[in-house]
Structure 1
């Protein structure tokens, strides 16, 4: 269970299983939306009342229509609106007056069309909410519930099953409805959310989380209205034992954000989305093909509990390709222990068995069975990836070949090890038998490996931490004020003294002790503008440099600072950005003046605790430097983690802070000091 303060209570059972439904805009013209909605809803009529509303009266699908919602014999629990956009507002008013609890607005022509459409959409939403009702859409294509026999859709013909689909695209639902039967899978619930004027993707995930007929929730998302809430609801669904797959194309690259610091230039929506999925171990795919692979992996008899894969193939090329495919997916192909190698050598004395296992020329599936048994019982793998032809060259009967396949499947299932197969002869009876038993069987090892990774059991690396009561950041946000504010949050800074002129600068340097750093204030990126002078060792040089900076830059003042010199020092950046979709985030990166070039960074939702700050630090590509590399000294990562948590809490705690940054944070074996800071507030 997550540790946020939110309460999860999206009870939408009346929407997916209404006692009565009315269609405003029912039509007798085939091909029109009102015709299709009426047809599908009437097919589920034995379990609910269906009322058809048409201003002209008459019949639709041999069913009486009413000229007004007000004339219905009873209040409809759900109303479907499929009339032109100009008539939607009055249709909504009529539905609410009739007592509707839920409205599905199919009609397009709202916020997607511009400012006036957006205004009208907001007005309709407020009317619905004021009446205590809920709205799906507008600009959607309806919803489906297999158990309730509700097909409130147009042009959908969906197979029943246990997969829930929440989608910003009706077309994605249609495509999955076409493809899932080929995977022996089906749909429990589906909803096209449209513009999400009222009900959102997150709320539907909440409702699917408590649906007993839904085992897997898939969500297709193109935009993120409240990204943090989305992931809170995903956590909630997973805490209730639901699998969640996020079908999310690449997010936009920080469109419209003004860049005021290194941190802002480094973070995009895609960075945040990818990092959140990684830290919460959420399955994220970018296409229907990978979504189907993930669903097959989740539906397999056994799923990998880790990343260790044993590769078993019928030749050197097959072994190499399967090994490469596994590694490319982030899986591991570790060498077997000496004991397991010895056992495998006894079974296949002329084969290479160190992992991968190359049973060269062994096409008969029966040859593989004892190898699979030995690996599965060893505890040295989480999954087995088989790659080969696996045809019946030994002359065994079809029944015997299928029995061997079933035995291999049972060996893996009983050992708790996942099995994925790539075969050049997927039509062979043994392969068909494995596929029938839900073992993933593919034509190529790339697919088999990806299926293993996407179907792997996942445990979040962290839980989302609730924001504390936020407040506004007040006062100046210049350089020295930024240092003071972040120091108050817990970041340790080098010594610094403000100076208006050369005399004050000299006194400051004397109090700090030479060598010092002189910074001319007022520039956004001080190093880029030549506003920073390092390693000043005496007063004469200090006064000379100050005069030069005054003439060249016309600064608002100066900061005289301790010159931080650390043996084997590493420069880091710690920053926070209030992302428009995901809220407060924290980034850890290789720092200094070249931070944009290195682009070595890790992003997380803020705030983070020290354990997750350490995880972020150890995820950087430069992480090997922290432990001492080729004779350099180790650094105290726990101290660095405290700085990360301090910045993350600062950005999370202040609603009007859009960016906060420490760069560089100089980290050495004896000290961890911030030497520069920036805070940007929203207008």
Structure 2
């Protein structure tokens, strides 16, 4: 979708730059929302008409108010609703009749207050949508646009800049409005989304992406809704060259429902969020401290194009600490080439120059300048982290230090290399000069390394895949039917036959061939309840086991199955869960009866292709076993990846499947065979 059609879809231009605004519930009493909104909006009255609606027709901030919306000389494009919840619907109806297209509902007492509030919110939203209008909130604290001179807020006093803020918390916007100016930064747009009855975080991301004044978009999210839609909006914003940072505290540990499978009990919203951010290489932080580090890195003259970092320090300890900080962030400190080392030796013959670079006796930043110039020109690194004192011990004039700092900054930015600095002397003229040019300067190397990681160029492993033709799974979800359905999806299963009694079990075993496995049907976790007997070698033993299981468990029948025994085989779990926020997912984990103890799993949005399935496999802690360990056989990863991809397609194609699971999937050097299956549907 191109930018023009996306703008047509979102239709938010008039929200952030309306021709006229009406404050419904304007007040002459200081401290009330209606008083503060009127004050802020009147401050931008040179950019638009501002009408105040107060049922007593009072003078407010020196302007005459109107007793009702119908008394306004013209209908306002944007209406700000500050009346009590019981009067909101009437205010909305009057504004819609007057032609209002956008609403900001400050009033609380809707969905967040209970069932009746939820009903009122839905009714209000339905009327607004039916009229083709849009709503921010309810229970929000407004919006702001620096370029349009719009302060549709109560208490915000925001500095102009190029950072866009979308938040489920008005307090976060106030916090950033206070902190960003300290870094020489400001806000282009801000919006408090409230209950998101109509307009959502995803739609605001798309709108901000089209705003020429916004360079970096930040979204503070406490509750994920329609997670795929959100990430689609992030992908769209990045396609337009806008950076996006998600500020999301840890998501819930449960998926919000009772789960029937190992897969469901192991998978949380947090798992899906972490996996999706990693797959799409989206910056996600959990707090405002990391958010500020990311913004500072993204506001620097250049961002790292990759993970290769050169660490330069004025001592061995500083070099070690800088290197440790970089590696802890998942970045690399690669060994320099012999050619580069040779050039650096000519400049600093008595120093360690292999990366990290420890410049012996470097008491002045000027000593670093020729070294940085050579490293920047080498093409071997993506970023430089300077860690040291950099104090003016030689008494050089401040202008001289600043000139050296400017040279270093220019060399790095011209080469497209990110530069961050950690120094105990952040007030030195050179450090101040770098900071004034937006080079991130910190007290500690951990902060400098974190800023590099959060601001590096992002390279997604995949794009989102959507299935708009998902159907309902109409098959039975009993054990044998689940095996058949997943087998039809492309997963290989061991042979299995139903048996109602001992005679039928004997016939089934003869057809399959001994040894066999006997499973009593009807138990949710068959192994835990003793419903599985492995390695039965003869008919008499089989009949005895049928008799015992019948007496103990009163099963609905039996499954007689081929006994799978793979030399050096590994048991895996593959499955899927329908997450309330993100939809269908696929899970791969260490399998068997102890899968919930190991909790070694990887999650991704479904469907995934084979290459993504391989990445999931290789991310497991048990992955070293796949290549053969102490003489064991290598497993066939390609076949496992095909099975994972098949499971992911099954989940994506059936919108009523809540859970699906194969545990274990037995894999070896030549075979990849499922021996158990479960499917749970919404109506099961």
TM-score (ref. length: structure 1): 0.97
1:656 aligns with 2:670: no
Instruction: Give the alignment of 1:87-126 within 5 angstroms.
Output: 87-126=87-126
CA deviations over 1:344-378 (Å, ceiling 9, x no partner) = 33322222223222224312111112222222222
Give distance in 1, aligned partners of 2:400 and 2:568.
66
Name the SS of the counterpart of 1:9 in structure 2. Answer: helix
1:637 aligns with 2:653: no
CA deviations over 1:146-204 (Å, ceiling 9, x no partner) = 11111100111111111111111111111111111111111111110001111111111
Shift of 1:38: 0.8
**Do the aligned partners of 1:660 and 1:678 also contact (CA within 8 Å) in 2?**
yes
Residue 22 of structure 2: aligned partner: 22
1:681 aligns with 2:674: no
Name the SS of the counterpart of 2:491 in structure 1. Answer: coil
Residue 568 of structure 2: aligned partner: 568
RMSD value, Cα: 1.6
Residue 452 of structure 1: aligned partner: 452
Shift of 1:413: 1.6
1:591 aligns with 2:591: yes
Name the SS of the counterpart of 1:107 in structure 2. Answer: coil
Residue 627 of structure 2: aligned partner: 627
**Do the aligned partners of 1:363 and 1:388 also contact (CA within 8 Å) in 2?**
no
Q: 1:584 to 1:7 in 2, by over 3 A?
A: farther
**Do the aligned partners of 1:8 and 1:206 also contact (CA within 8 Å) in 2?**
no
Residue 161 of structure 1: aligned partner: 161
**Do the aligned partners of 1:9 and 1:206 also contact (CA within 8 Å) in 2?**
no
**Do the aligned partners of 1:663 and 1:675 also contact (CA within 8 Å) in 2?**
yes
Give distance in 2, aligned partners of 1:100 and 1:149.
20
Give distance in 2, aligned partners of 1:498 and 1:359.
75
Give distance in 1, aligned partners of 2:622 and 2:359.
40
Instruction: Give the alignment of 1:203-222 within 5 angstroms.
Output: 203-222=203-222
Give distance in 2, aligned partners of 1:339 and 1:536.
67
Q: 1:671 to 1:655 in 2, by over 3 A?
A: same
Residue 391 of structure 1: aligned partner: 391
Shift of 1:468: 4.1
Residue 605 of structure 1: aligned partner: 605
Give distance in 2, aligned partners of 1:315 and 1:679.
61
Name the SS of the counterpart of 1:66 in structure 2. Answer: coil
Shift of 1:537: 1.6
Give distance in 1, aligned partners of 2:164 and 2:637.
43
1:272 aligns with 2:272: yes
**Do the aligned partners of 1:573 and 1:592 also contact (CA within 8 Å) in 2?**
yes
Name the SS of the counterpart of 1:46 in structure 2. Answer: coil
Residue 497 of structure 1: aligned partner: 497
Deviation >3 Å, runs of 4+:
5-8
Shift of 1:501: 1.3
Shift of 1:441: 0.5
Instruction: Give the alignment of 1:384-423 within 5 angstroms.
Output: 384-423=384-423
Give distance in 2, aligned partners of 1:655 and 1:554.
33
**Do the aligned partners of 1:312 and 1:356 also contact (CA within 8 Å) in 2?**
yes
Give distance in 2, aligned partners of 1:288 and 1:304.
22
Name the SS of the counterpart of 2:35 in structure 1. Answer: helix
Name the SS of the counterpart of 1:625 in structure 2. Answer: helix
1:39 aligns with 2:46: no
**Do the aligned partners of 2:18 and 2:78 also contact (CA within 8 Å) in 1?**
yes
Shift of 1:57: 0.6
Give distance in 1, aligned partners of 2:316 and 2:281.
34
1:309 aligns with 2:317: no
Mean alpha-carbon deviation: is it higher for 329-338 or for 500-509?
329-338
Give distance in 2, aligned partners of 1:430 and 1:456.
24
Residue 322 of structure 2: aligned partner: 322
Give distance in 2, aligned partners of 1:304 and 1:569.
43
Give distance in 2, aligned partners of 1:520 and 1:559.
7
| Structure 1 gap segments, 5+ residues each | none
Give distance in 2, aligned partners of 1:108 and 1:587.
40
**Do the aligned partners of 1:23 and 1:38 also contact (CA within 8 Å) in 2?**
yes
Name the SS of the counterpart of 2:249 in structure 1. Answer: coil
**Do the aligned partners of 1:660 and 1:677 also contact (CA within 8 Å) in 2?**
yes
Residue 259 of structure 1: aligned partner: 259
Residue 442 of structure 2: aligned partner: 442
1:127 aligns with 2:127: yes
Residue 176 of structure 1: aligned partner: 176
**Do the aligned partners of 1:167 and 1:173 also contact (CA within 8 Å) in 2?**
yes
1:363 aligns with 2:363: yes
Shift of 1:428: 0.4
Shift of 1:262: 0.4
Give distance in 1, aligned partners of 2:18 and 2:329.
44
CA deviations over 1:587-622 (Å, ceiling 9, x no partner) = 111111111111111111111111211221122222
Mean alpha-carbon deviation: is it higher for 595-604 or for 333-342?
333-342
Residue 296 of structure 1: aligned partner: 296
**Do the aligned partners of 2:665 and 2:674 also contact (CA within 8 Å) in 1?**
yes
Residue 186 of structure 1: aligned partner: 186
Name the SS of the counterpart of 2:270 in structure 1. Answer: helix
Give distance in 2, aligned partners of 1:221 and 1:634.
43
Shift of 1:6: 10
How many corresponding residue pairs? 681
**Do the aligned partners of 1:55 and 1:66 also contact (CA within 8 Å) in 2?**
yes
Mean alpha-carbon deviation: is it higher for 543-552 or for 76-85?
543-552
CA deviations over 1:545-587 (Å, ceiling 9, x no partner) = 2222112111111111111111221211111111111111111
Give distance in 2, aligned partners of 1:629 and 1:199.
54
Give distance in 1, aligned partners of 2:518 and 2:360.
70
CA deviations over 1:64-102 (Å, ceiling 9, x no partner) = 110010011111100000011221111111111111101
Give distance in 2, aligned partners of 1:381 and 1:498.
62
**Do the aligned partners of 1:421 and 1:441 also contact (CA within 8 Å) in 2?**
yes
TM-score (ref. length: structure 2): 0.97
CA deviations over 1:281-306 (Å, ceiling 9, x no partner) = 00001111111100011111111111
Shift of 1:13: 0.3
Give distance in 2, aligned partners of 1:544 and 1:347.
84
Give distance in 2, aligned partners of 1:449 and 1:147.
34
**Do the aligned partners of 2:256 and 2:580 also contact (CA within 8 Å) in 1?**
no
**Do the aligned partners of 1:519 and 1:531 also contact (CA within 8 Å) in 2?**
yes
1:557 aligns with 2:557: yes
Shift of 1:625: 2.2
Give distance in 1, aligned partners of 2:66 and 2:52.
6
**Do the aligned partners of 2:20 and 2:50 also contact (CA within 8 Å) in 1?**
yes
Shift of 1:224: 1.5
**Do the aligned partners of 1:434 and 1:441 also contact (CA within 8 Å) in 2?**
yes
Give distance in 2, aligned partners of 1:416 and 1:225.
38
Name the SS of the counterpart of 1:181 in structure 2. Answer: helix
Shift of 1:209: 1.5
Name the SS of the counterpart of 2:10 in structure 1. Answer: coil
Give distance in 1, aligned partners of 2:255 and 2:578.
14
Shift of 1:8: 8.3
Name the SS of the counterpart of 2:446 in structure 1. Answer: helix
